[in-house]
Structure 1
Amino acid sequence: MAEPSINALSPQHWKDYELIDCGDFEKLERFGELILIRPEPQAVWDKLLPESEWQKLHHIKFKGRSATAGEWVKKNSKIPDRWHINYQNKDVSIKLRLALTSFKHVGVFPEQAVNWDFISSKIKKFKTPNPKVLNLFAYTGGASLIAKAAGADTTHVDSIKQVVSWANENQEISNLKDIRWVVEDALKFVQRELKRGKTYNGIILDPPAYGHGPKGEKWKLEDQIKEMMKEVVQLLDPEEHFLILNTYSLGFSSIIVENLIRGAYPQVKNLDIGELYLKAQSGINLPLGVFGKFSSV
C-alpha cells in the first residue's frame, strides 16, 4: 500500500479574511472590514498579542451563555448585523453574506477555502461537460457556489431549511443560478440517489460531529461516517471524479480519515490527507479539521 502524503494546508491570498491571533480559547479575526472575537475550543495556548491589542482592534465580541449559544456585543450601534465578503482564486470568484448568529457562527468556515481551490481546479480539468457535483452537509454553500462558478451542475444538500435559504441568497449575490437545493438528511439522500442510478463527478462531505435531519434523524459522526462513506463512493463517476471528506472533530485524526476512505474505496488513487489550519498574523497556527481528498485528474 502506497503511503499518502500528509499535508497541512492553509488558505492563502484571501483579501477579505484574516486570522489575526488566537489563544485562551478565543480567536481574533477579520471578515472584510469587521474584526471579531469568537470562542475557539482548539486554541488551548496563550494569546501572542496582548489583551489590550485585542480590545483595541475588535469591533464585535461573542459572549457565550453556554458552550454553543450566546450574544454578540458591539462597540457601537452603527456596526451592521449583516455584511458581505468576497472570495476569488485563479478560476472563480464568489460573494458571501455574513451574519451574527446566536451560535457564534457567521456563515463561513474560512479554512474551507483550501478545499474551494481544489474543487474549482479539478472541475476545470474535467473533460466532461457540465460535470455533476454533490455537496453534502453543505451549510451556507461556499463549496456549492465555487463548483457552480467553475461550471458544474451542482446539487446542495443540507438538513436545515434556514441555511439552505442563506445559501440561495449567496447564489443570488454571486450572480449565479440553477444550483439544485435539497433540504434532507444527507444519508437518506445518498441512498435514494443510489436507487435512481445517479452518478457524480465530484462529491464534497463536511459532516458535523453531531446533527439532526429535518425529520429528527440523528447524525453522530463516529457512528455513521463509515456507512456514509461506503454508500457515497458508489455515486462517483468511475472515469472522472474527485471526493473531499473534511471533519472537524477533536477525536478524528488524519489516519482515521485515511482508513475510512481506503476502506470504502480500495481503488483510490492520488489520495491526499492532512490538517486544515489558519495561519495567524501573529505567527501562531490554528488547526481546524482533518481532510482526505482524492481525484482521477
Structure 2
Amino acid sequence: MQLLFPRHWQDYELIDSGDFQKLERFGKYTLIRPEPQAIWKKKLSDDEWKKQASAVFVRDSAKARKSSREDEGWTYSQKLNHRWPLKYRYKDMQLTMSLQFTSFGHVGVFPEQAENWDFIYDTVKAWPEPGKVLNLFAYTGGSSLAARAAGSEVTHVDAVKNMITWSNDNQQASGLKDIRWVVEDALKFVKREVKRGKQYNGIILDPPAYGRGPDGEKWVIEESLTELMELCSQLLAPRQAFLVLNMYSMGLSALVSANLVESFFQPDNMQFGEFYLPSTSGQRLPLGTFLRFTR
C-alpha cells in the first residue's frame, strides 16, 4: 500500500490540524472546519488559529435543515465574497474551481484529489487517442475537468442537479467545454450503458457511504459497490484504459478496494493506499483511500 499526497498546489495549504478541526487556506481565505480524524493536539495555539481564520464552520445539522441560508453554520471574521476562485496548475493543465460556502461545510473541492487529477491527465496524454472517460458520483467535477483538459470526451454523472450546475461553472471558469452532464443515479446509468454496449477508456468512481438518487434510489456502499464494479468491468475498454476508485468511508481499508477490483478486472500497474495532506505545522492528515490502475 502507498501513501500519496498532491505536490502541485499553490492556492491550497493545510496549515494545521488537531482537536477534531483543520485550518486550511483556499486561495485568499483561510478556513476552520471540522475534521473527525484529527484526534491529536493542534501544533498552533487557539489564538493563532483565530488570527488566521477568515471563516469558521460549526456543524449543526438540525439548524441547517431548518434554515434557508445556503451557508448556514459559518461565521465570518470579515466581510467575504461567498464565491471565489481556486486555481490549480499542472504541466499544461490549468483548472479554476469556483468555491463557495455551503451548509454542510464543504467549499467545492477536495484538495487531496489533485493527485488523481495529475494521474488522469498524464494517463490520457500518453495515449495515441484521448478516448472516452466516465466520471461517476462526480461532485463538482475536478476529475472531469482533468480528463477534458487532456482531450478526452467526458461524461459526468451526479445525482444532484446543483452539483451539475456547479461543475458547469467550473468548466467555464477553466476555459473548457463540451462535457456531457447527466443528472442520474450512478448505478442506474451504468446498467443502461452496459445494455447499450457502450465502452469507456477511463472510469472514475467517488462513491459516498450513503446517498439517494434523484428518484429516491438508495445507495449504501457496502451493499451496492460490488454490483457497480461488476458492471464497470463490462464498460471499461480492454486496452488503453484506466480506473480510479476513491473511498471516504471510515473503516473501509484500501485492501477492500484492491480485493474488489481484482474480483472483476485484470489490472496492470495497480496502485492502492491512502491519500493524505501534509500540514505546514508537521502533521499528516489522512483523507480516504484510493485505487487506480491502467491497462
Q: TM-score, normalised by structure 1?
A: 0.95
- Indicate the residue corresponding to 1:176 in structure 2: 176
Q: Does 2:104 align with 1:81? A: no
TM-fit CA distance, 1:153: 0.3
Q: Which residue of 1 aligns with 2:275?
A: 276
Deviation at 1:63, TM superposition (A): 1.6
**In structure 1, what is the equivalent of residue 67 of structure 2?**
none
Distance between the aligned counterparts of 1:61 and 1:139, measured in 2? 23
Deviations 1:169-189 (A, max 9, x none): 111111111000000000111
Distance 1:199 1:67, change over 3 A: farther
Distance in 2 of aligned mates of 1:93 and 1:240: 24
| CA contact 1:120–1:146 (8 Å) conserved in 2 | yes
The total of aligned residue pairs comes to 288
| Deviation for aligned residue 1:14 | 0.5
**CA apart distance, 1:57:** 0.6
Shift of 1:67: 8.8
> Residue 26 in 1 paired to residue 27 in 2?
no
Q: d(CA) in 2 for partners of 1:21 and 1:190?
A: 40
Amino acid at match of 2:278: K
Match of 1:264 in 2: 264
- Counterpart position of 1:125: 126
Q: Secondary structure at the match of 1:270?
A: strand
* Displacement after TM superposition at 1:254 (Å): 1.1
Identity of aligned residues (%): 56
Amino acid at match of 1:287: P
Mapped to 2, the partners of 1:67 and 1:60 lie a distance apart of: 21
Paired letter, 2:164 = V
Amino acid corresponding to residue 55 of structure 2 in structure 1: I
Call closer, same or farther: CA 1:67–1:28 in 2, change over 3 Å. farther
Give the corresponding residue for 2:69: none
Tell me the secondary structure at the aligned position of residue 64 of structure 1.
coil
1:116-137: CA deviation from partner (whole Å, max 9, x where unpaired) = 0000000001112x41000000
User: Distance between the aligned counterparts of 1:165 and 1:66, measured in 2?
Assistant: 24
For the residues of structure 2 that align with 1:14 and 1:248, how far apart are their CA atoms?
21
* Aligned mates of 1:48, 1:24 — CA distance in 2: 10
Shift of 1:49: 1.1
- In the superposition, the TM-score normalised over structure 2's length comes to 0.95
List structure 1 segments (4+ residues) > 4 angstroms apart after TM superposition: 67-70
Structure 1: 5+ residue runs without aligned partners?
1-5
The structural deviation recorded for 1:91 is 3.6
Q: Structure 2: which amino acid aligns with 1:278?
A: L
d(CA) in 2 for partners of 1:64, 1:155: 33
1:57 to 52, 55, 75: 52
Q: Which amino acid aligns with 1:237?
A: A
CA distance in 2, matches of 1:121, 1:67: 43
Taking the aligned partners of 2:239 and 2:16, their CA distance within structure 1 comes to 43
In the aligned structure 1, how far is the partner of 2:36 from the partner of 2:61? 13
Q: Secondary structure at the match of 2:261?
A: helix
- Which one-letter code corresponds to 1:162 in the other structure? N
- 1:51 Cα deviation from its structure 2 partner: 1.0
TM alignment of 1:43-192, pairs within 5 A:
43-66=38-61, 69=64, 70-76=72-78, 78-128=79-129, 130-192=130-192
- Contact 1:148-1:179 within 8 A present in 2 as well: yes
User: Aligned partner of 1:258: which letter?
Assistant: A
Residue of structure 2 aligned with 1:11, choices 6, 9, 33: 6
Q: Which runs of 5+ in 2 are unaligned?
A: 65-71
CA contact (8 A) 1:91 1:120 kept: no
Q: Secondary structure at the match of 2:251?
A: coil
CA deviation string 1:207-228 (max 9, x = no partner): 1111110000011111111111
Aligned to 1:237: 237
- CA distance, structure 2, for counterparts of residue 67 and residue 276 of structure 1: 31
Deviation at 1:269, TM superposition (A): 1.4
Report the Cα offset of residue 47 of structure 1. Answer: 1.0
